[in-house]
Amino acid sequence: MVFLSLSARILLNVEALNMVESVGNFVRHRRAPIAVPTGTGFMLKYVPVISGESIAHSYQELLADAGIKSGIKVCSNCSAGIFIKHSDDPVLEDWAKKAIKEGEEAFERAIIQNCFVEDVGGFMYAGGKPVKRTSRFQVGYMVPALDAITSTAVEAQFHVRYAKTTEAQSIYNVEVGSAVYTLGFNIDVDGIGVLSSSKTELAVTKEERLKRVELAIKSLNTMLSNALFGAKRSRFTPIWKVLNAVAVVSHPIPITAEPPHTKDYIVNTSRKVGSSKELLNKGKVNLNETAWVGYYSSPEEVLPKVEGVEELKDLTQLINQSINNVLKLIS
């Protein structure tokens, strides 16, 4: 399994990227409880967070955009940024209605061929006998880094608009969050363009599969290098910086990048990759594990060089080098 795993620390100031409800004229930021180590135990804290669903939505919008602009098929709902996917009979197009009659495998094959977003992001059909394609990417909540938890805040910002019809002031408050957020993102590269039932049989040509893999990783770069994720960006685009990031490309057993809660995460990732390779490549069953690790660190939070880990100048170069390593393994 060729697997790409990326962890990053992202500074986001005055962001309203994930709001949950409006109570009157008050719009609340999403919060979640997290257990924070104190040295003697753990303490529960409620902090601003950005949900994995929110990140996944933005990533899939970018996948759709990249697919359409590269001549790779994307279904009409996904093209419009509506990710209900092929979940039930009323939303099936004629080709999908025909395919579902031919069985689960034919249905999955047709959807992979006709929709790049659902190839990478998966779907769940529950109209009759369920057909499921697990998402090839995994993402979770962005939460404040544990080592910067005391530098985290959510605060309501007062705004007002003049309403000419009533000659009144319309007052509203929007909560904004500021924190060093952590992000983890994995892509099961082997699963892109491949049927779930066999795990090896291609649903598209080999050439198209390579294009899809490249586009899936390029879309990750578009999202992170440009902070194109989350909501409310039209008036609350945050002040942002990807402080540092680490990427791991592993094969055939997946190895993930460590969560970036402390500045040691690149060293810890490198150590884990080293010990995982040692374990997998010894004994009576040598798995011939290979893994490349690269990182990038900005002047705002410089991390020390790590031996055996390739240092790249910026996030885009890090992702570009990840693509090179992925393509070397699969082509």
Please, what is the minimum distance in Å from the beta carbon of residue 72 to Zn ion? 12
φ, ψ dihedrals at 280, nearest 5°: -70, -25
Which residue lies nearer to Zn ion by CB, 78 or 319? 78
287, with CB counted inside 10 A (0-12, 13-18, 19+), is middle
The yes or no reply on residue 118 touching Zn ion (CB under 5 A) is yes
Please, what is the minimum distance in Å from the beta carbon of residue 51 to Zn ion? 21
267 is written with which tokens? 């060293």
Which residue lies nearer to Zn ion by CB, 114 or 244? 114
The yes or no reply on residue 78 touching Zn ion (CB under 5 A) is yes
Question: Which of 115, 148, 266, 309 forms a contact with Zn ion (CB under 5 A)?
Answer: 115
14, with CB counted inside 10 A (0-12, 13-18, 19+), is middle
d(CA 315, CA 296): 6
Three-class secondary structure of residue 9 per DSSP: strand
Which residue lies nearer to Zn ion by CB, 35 or 82? 82
The yes or no reply on residue 56 touching Zn ion (CB under 5 A) is no
φ, ψ dihedrals at 71, nearest 5°: 75, 25
How far is C-alpha 98 from the chain's CA centre?
32
Q: Do the Cβ atoms of 306 and 258 come closer than 8 Å?
A: no
The yes or no reply on residue 72 touching Zn ion (CB under 5 A) is no
How open is the CA angle 143-218-213, to the nearest 5 degrees? 110
Nearest CA among 278, 200, 276, 253 for reference residue 3: 253
Please, what is the minimum distance in Å from the beta carbon of residue 4 to Zn ion? 22
Please, what is the minimum distance in Å from the beta carbon of residue 124 to Zn ion? 12
Q: In this chain, which residue has its C-beta nearest to Zn ion?
A: 78
The yes or no reply on residue 110 touching Zn ion (CB under 5 A) is no
The yes or no reply on residue 61 touching Zn ion (CB under 5 A) is no
Given the rule CB under 5 A, which of 29-37, 69-77, 124-132, 148-156 is the region that contacts Zn ion? Answer: 69-77
262 is written with which tokens? 């402390």
Which residue lies nearer to Zn ion by CB, 111 or 255? 111
Given the rule CB under 5 A, which of 116-124, 176-184, 241-249, 287-295 is the region that contacts Zn ion? Answer: 116-124
d(CA 147, CA 128): 48
The yes or no reply on residue 75 touching Zn ion (CB under 5 A) is yes
φ, ψ dihedrals at 261, nearest 5°: -80, -20
Please, what is the minimum distance in Å from the beta carbon of residue 143 to Zn ion? 29
Please, what is the minimum distance in Å from the beta carbon of residue 151 to Zn ion? 40
* Binding residues for Zn ion (CB under 5 A): 75, 78, 115, 117-118
